[in-house]
Chains A and B, each alone.
Chain A
Amino acid sequence: MNAFTIAKKELNLYFRSPIAYGIMGFFALVTGFFFYSAVGFFLQRSMQMAQMGQSTPMNVDEWVVRNVLSNISVVGLFLIPMMTMRSFAEEKRTGTIELLITSPLRDSEIIIGKWLGALVMYATLLGLTAVNMVTLYAYGTPDWRPMVVGYLGLLLQGGALLAIGILISSTTRNQIVAGVAGFCVCLLLWVLDWVTAFEASTLNKVIAYISVVSHFESFAKGVVDLKDVVYYITMIVLGLFLTARSMDSMRWRA
């Protein structure tokens, strides 16, 4: 119940800060760019195909939707640390954490509230990109199911990264440190995926499993793979659980 109060406060503060509008503008611009270049590429290729006498039309889901969703997932990787860097670090720096901790709130309510607020903010960002997708319907009737699955995947991936970002923010009182550390971790989670490109050994497969991005591939193709859903949910639960541990240890030291 009180988690919603915290979530509302978080959202409120997001939309008060100029950073949020900066992030939203940047996100809309970048994803818009990806979208229109994907569409442009798609049109060019289908024209060539038609000239060469190909009778089966190219698939817009495969060439536009999948591409754009994958790109959004990578952009999200770099925006999320900016969204979570303040989360706990700023409350610790300004002392508002004392208000939260000495109020009759459970730690879990504070943590889930912060995560939920950030998730709604991220969903809003995704909503901005969905506007692009809707324009596809002006030119045809792409299948809506892969899109919904894709956005579900983006939301799950976002939820996992937000949980990691909040965990990092809870370990410091300096939001810049939290932002940079969050960025590094996200970068690491992204590049871990590449190791399988060199050699598909067991170790590399394990490393790739940890990578957040590899689990998004199935969603981008419009497939809900239970193993990927489990991965993301595990990351969310683990991240938030470790945040609770971090709050606990802060209490003993602070």
Chain B
Amino acid sequence: MIKVEGLTKRYARHVAVDHISFEVAKGQIVGFLGPNGAGKTTTMRMLTCFMPPTEGTAEVAGYDVIQNPMEVKRRIGYLPETPPLYPDMEVAEYLDFVSRIKNLPSAGRQARINQVMERCAVADVRNKEIGKLSKGYKQRVGLAQAIIHNPDVLILDEPTSGLDPHQIMETRDLIRELAGDHTIILSTHILPEVEQICERVVIIAKGKLVATDTVANLTTNLRGAETIALEVIGGDEASVRERLDRIAGILKVTTVPTDGRVRFTIDADKEKNVRPEIARAIIGSGWELHELHGVSMSLENIFLELTSNKEAA
């Protein structure tokens, strides 16, 4: 549904988004995680054809954002960081305006507006001026605006920022409900939010892609897993693997192709402290232990880096 390749946005002074690539499959709900200033809004603005990328391509709902912006715009719903509301308009009137510029046919338009107002729980304020609504209501009117034309792809920029805890819960529930009908990409700088709503996560920091993974993997990694690099001389890959698998606490072993030697990346439970165990196993099997160390770019470290950047900003 979304395919991003080498997407880059350069402003006059610096690079806001730097060669980002990722994909989102149909029906998925993906969290776009990164501290403030990471480039989340900029990326979303390129995906929604608000502005063109400096470099790279993005395909949304089957159409290229540069070649076919009209087709992309027809198929996306977008909730910018500040909901795009006209404070002087009434809720129902505003949704009517949006439904018209989204080319909703006049037959069934009113029914659709009513349905969306019910769904986003704003029906009770339909005749109120938007400027007089609370922040939570405004956010839900913003969501109603994004889904009014039943788009294939929903792009939500920090949909819960600035809300109180109760409103945050309501908004998250609503987004989860919407997940069945749309492919959703939502940005946030809050990790638990991703855990609660999303299936996959794309992490960016300082405009660069840091990781993309399933939320399940991300959380195991963050909850005390460590990544270890291992290099063995004298043993063949299969037998080393077989020996490693017998060690309790090792979660995943991946082979890194290297000329002549056998290198592995190991995901392990941090609590178990498996490194001495690995060393004993390799030596005990008569092989040479050439290298054994923790890899700094574990997801935990990534997230530590992310949060420290956030505090600095």
Contacts and interface: CB of A to CB of B under 8 A. Distances in A.
Interface of A: 2, 5-6, 9, 12-13, 16-17, 94-105, 251-254
Interface in B55-112: 70, 73-74, 76, 78, 80-89, 93, 97-98, 100-103
B247 to A, nearest CB: 52
Given A95-B84, A96-B86, A104 B74 contact: yes
A13 B73 contact: no
A99 B79 CA distance: 8
B31 interface: no
Nearest to B73: A104
Nearest to B81: A95
Nearest to B93: A12
Contacts of B84: 94-99
B85 A96 contact: yes
Given A94-B82, A95-B80, A105 B88 contact: no
Contacts of B52: 251-252
A95 B81 CA distance: 9
Main secondary structure of the interface of B (DSSP, over half): loop
21 contacts: A5-B97, A5-B101, A9-B97, A12-B93, A13-B88, A94-B87, A95-B81, A95-B82, A95-B83, A97-B84, A98-B78, A99-B145, A101-B50, A102-B78, A104-B74, A104-B103, A105-B101, A251-B51, A252-B52, A253-B12, A254-B51
Contacts of A102: 48-50, 73, 76, 78
Nearest to B54: A252
Interface string B27-57: 0000000000000000001001111100000
A9 to B, nearest CB: 5
B155 to A, nearest CB: 9
A6 B101 contact: yes
A197 to B, nearest CB: 45
Interface string B162-202: 00000000000000000000000000000000000000000
Q: Which of B70, B83, B93, B101 has the most CB of A within 10 A?
A: B101
B100 A2 contact: yes
Main secondary structure of the interface of A (DSSP, over half): helix
Given A98-B80, A103-B73, A251-B51, A17 B88 contact: yes
A253 B50 CA distance: 11
A104 B80 CA distance: 16
B50 A251 contact: yes
A5 to B, nearest CB: 5
A103 B80 contact: no
Contacts of A6: 101
Contacts of A251: 50-52
Contacts of A253: 11-12
Contacts of A252: 51-52
Contacts of B51: 251-252, 254
A2 B102 CA distance: 9
A52 B78 CA distance: 77
Contact of B98 (A16, A98, A99): A99
A238 to B, nearest CB: 26
Given A5-B100, A96-B85, A102-B48, 16 more contacts: A5-B101, A9-B97, A12-B89, A17-B88, A94-B84, A94-B87, A96-B86, A98-B48, A100-B101, A102-B50, A102-B73, A102-B76, A103-B73, A104-B74, A104-B102, A254-B51
A254 B50 CA distance: 9
B101 A2 contact: yes
Nearest to B70: A104
A12 B80 CA distance: 24
Q: Which of A96, A104, A105 has the most CB of B within 10 A?
A: A104
Contacts of B50: 98, 101-102, 251, 254
Contacts of A105: 101
A108 to B, nearest CB: 13
A9 B86 CA distance: 10
Contacts of A16: 88-89
A97 to B, nearest CB: 8
Nearest to A95: B82
